[in-house]
Every structure is written in C-alpha cells, then in structure tokens.
Amino acid sequence: MQMTNQLPITNYQTAETLIGLVSQYSPSGQEHGAVEWLVSRMKALGYDDAFVDAAGNAVGVMGQGPRQVVLLGHIDTVPGEIPAQIVAEHAPPLLYGRGSVDAKGPLACFVDAVAQVGVKDGWQFVVIGAIEEERDSDGARFVADEYKPDFAIIGEPNQWDRVALGYKGSAWANVTVRREQAHTASGEETAAEAAVEVWLKVKAYVEAFNADKPKAFDKLLLTLRGMESDSDDFEQWARLKVGVRLPVEVSPEAWYETLNEPLKVSKTFRGLVEPTGFAIPAWACEKNTKLVRAFLNGIRSQGGEPRFVYKTGTADLNIVAPVWRCPSVVYGPGDSALDHTPNEHIDLEDYRRAVKVLSAVLSKLADD
C-alpha cells in the first residue's frame, strides 16, 4: 500500500480492516486471496468462527444465540487495479483503491462493527463477504438457502447517513426477427428494418409507461446495447440486445411478454425473445421495522440526519430478500457515484462514522 506524506499505518488503526481488504485486489473470479485475508482478519478480531464456505465466500460468526442478523457484503470488484493509497493531505484522509467504495468499504464496516459489539446474549451475528456480485451473484445465491435470519443488512455504498430501501430489478434479452429472403427491388421490409420498428414500438411503450411516474425507481429504464444483422441465400435476420431496469410492479416475466407483443402482429417476419443471464425482480424493503428505526437512531447518534434512498441499480438484496422475507436494509459508507471509476476512494472519517452507526444498530437490536 502506498501513502502520501509517509504517515505510518498506526495513524489509521480504526480503518485497518478497510485498508487491508482494499489492498487485496479481487475482481470477480479472483477473490480467493481477499477471502483468505478477510477470514484471517476476522479470527484476529476475535470472531467465534471464521471460514471459507462451499461457495468460496468469507464467513465470520460472532455469538451462538437463536436469533440471527446476517450482514451480507461482497468482496469482489470490477476489473481495473487501483493500488491502495491514503491521501493524507486531505482532511479527513481519503483512501483510494479498487473496491474502497464498491463494496469493500461496507463489508469492512460490517466486520469492524461486529467486532466492536462482540457477543450479545441470545444473538448471532454472521458477516459474509460474498463472491461474484459483479457478475451473477453466485455467493449470494448460495447463502440465500443457507441462512434464515431475523434481520438482514446488505452492504452497498450509500453514504454513512443514508439507508437504502430498494433496488431495481433487471432483465436482458436478445430479440431476433427473421424473414425469407426478398429481392432488394421488391420494396418489402427487411429484417433489419423490422427490428428497428420493433425497437421503436418497445421504446414508445416504455415512454408511455413512464409518463406519469416522476421517480426513477418506479420507471422502466430501457437500454439498447447492441444490434447485428446478416443473411444467407434464403433468409434474413436481425438481432437487438435489449436491457431494462425494472420497477417493483413489473416482473421479468411481464417484461418478456411486453417484448413479445410487437413480434406477434407481423405477417412477413418471425420473431423470438431469448432471455439472457439471470433475470432479477426489483425489491423494496418495508420501511416501518425495528431494523429501520435502529438505523435512524444510530445515524442520529453520530450527528447525522437520516435519509432514505431507492437505487436504480441491482444488488444482492434482490437475491436474498425474497427468500429470507425478514426486515432488511442496505447500508454502507462511500459515495456510489464513485463506483467502478478510476477515481474510486472513500473518506476515512465517514467510514469511522459508519462503523459507529452500525455498532449502535446491532447493540440496539440485541439489547431491545
């Protein structure tokens, strides 16, 4: 790890977990070194147990009570190594590095907060550093069936004084149209022209759907990520790569049916919608819960004014919340506008506040 001003690491003992974790480069598919480091760190912090589970996630357990809080963060990052570096000229200092925001900041916050709270009678705290969140969420899909928590806290950067209560869903598909070959002088619609017409109809549907919805969380967010076409001696074809961010009221299945509608009316071409990857429904957390109230109190205890946010991205919340069906929130320090950027960094004072907030939350849940 590099540091400006040559200040010793002891100056940042309150962020030692964060600094160490960010120093372990772990893009999706290459998480093992960071997982092993985090397991070792949790053991050093006094966790009752720490291990690598069957999926490759880092897991730390504090306490053995019948009631359980699962704190699920992710340990993988997008590619693009940014060496860990503290900029000490800034007040407070900033930690630069890949994953400092998305989402090793929140995960390290979970680890440190649980270590500070320690064992609470009747409770078990489980911290999970999940793999593959930036791809297909393999780590979260595994733990969804392994735990049945009373409360769940998902780690994503939303700033230390905000709580996220919802993430949009997502669905991807290839939309292909095919038609018999025709002479170029025939004036008949080509497969490529038909595909463009399909796109315009889908786009018009989305615009009409969004017209009376002022909030982005409630809208369909449509994107065209690719187009290609070709032909052979007997057939023409054209393909659209279509993605969408889904609101709570639209399921992936309903969206695929929407894509199918423009394909049903043509007499000149055949259409096919092929879902790609994992379709993920949107999820909104219940607002009036003991967990939310604990966060409001915790943020105020550190001098903050709590705020709620609903995000247009998709997170591991969408994977586990529909299975666990318990009070859930998303929390973590860091500015999400810095996610995946070459300038990714986190304010160490905000990190310290987030650890204090989360420690207060866990203590209140257990003490009540």
What are the structural domain ranges in the chain? 2-167+282-367, 169-280
pLDDT at 185: 75
Mean pLDDT of 215-225: 98
The whole-number average pLDDT for the span 154-172 is 98
pLDDT at 267 over 80: no
Q: For residue 218, indicate whether it is catalytic.
A: no
Residues ≥6 apart with Cβ < 8 Å to 155? 71, 72, 73, 74, 103, 106, 107, 109, 110, 330, 331, 332
Q: Is pLDDT above 90 for 109? A: yes
Grouping H, G, I as helix, E, B as strand and the rest as coil, residue 57 is coil
pLDDT exceeding 70 applies to what percent of the chain? 96
Q: Which range among 76-85, 140-149, 265-274 shows the weakest confidence by mean pLDDT?
A: 265-274
User: Taking 50 as the threshold, does the pLDDT of residue 90 lie above it?
Assistant: yes
Share of the chain above pLDDT 90, in %: 90
Q: Which listed residue (102, 133, 161, 347) is catalytic? A: 133
In the annotation, is 133 catalytic? yes
What is the reported pLDDT for 233? 87
Confidence of residue 264 (pLDDT cuts 50, 70, 90): confident
92: pLDDT strictly greater than 90 = no
For residue 75, the one-letter residue type is I
Task: Please say if the pLDDT value at position 352 is more than 60.
Answer: yes
Instruction: Kindly state the average pLDDT of the residues 207-220.
Output: 98
CATH number corresponding to 169-280: 3.30.70.360
User: So what's the pLDDT on residue 242?
Assistant: 98
Domains 2-167+282-367 and 169-280 fall in the same CATH topology:
no
Query: Would you say domain 2-167+282-367 falls under CATH 1.20.1290.10?
Result: no
Active-site choice (76, 102, 132, 350): 76
At residue 12, the pLDDT reads 59
| Mean pLDDT (whole number) for 204-221 | 98
Q: Kind and range of the H or E element at 265?
A: none
The pLDDT confidence band at residue 4, using thresholds 50, 70 and 90, is very low
Mean pLDDT over residues 104-127, rounded?
A: 98
Q: Which of 4, 132, 136 is nearest to 74 (CA)?
A: 132
Query: pLDDT tens across 31-72, in order?
Result: 999 999 999 999 999 999 999 999 999 999 999 999 999 999
Name the band, by pLDDT with cuts 50, 70 and 90, for residue 241: very high
Strands (DSSP E) contained in 104-261 are 123-130, 151-155, 162-167, 169-180, 221-231, 235-246
What pLDDT score was predicted for residue 182?
Answer: 79
Residue 13 binned pLDDT confidence (cut-offs 50, 70, 90):
low
Alpha-carbon distance of 84 to 313, in angstroms, equals: 26
The pLDDT of residue 7 is above 90:
no
The pTM of this model reads: 0.92
Phi first, then psi, for residue 174 (nearest 5°) are: -100, 125
Residue 6 has pLDDT above 70, yes or no: no
pLDDT above 50: residue 5:
no
How far is CA 161 from its chain centroid?
A: 18
Taking the C-alpha atoms of residue 167 and residue 316, their distance in angstroms, rounded to an integer, is 9
Predicted confidence band of residue 177 (pLDDT cuts 50, 70, 90): very high
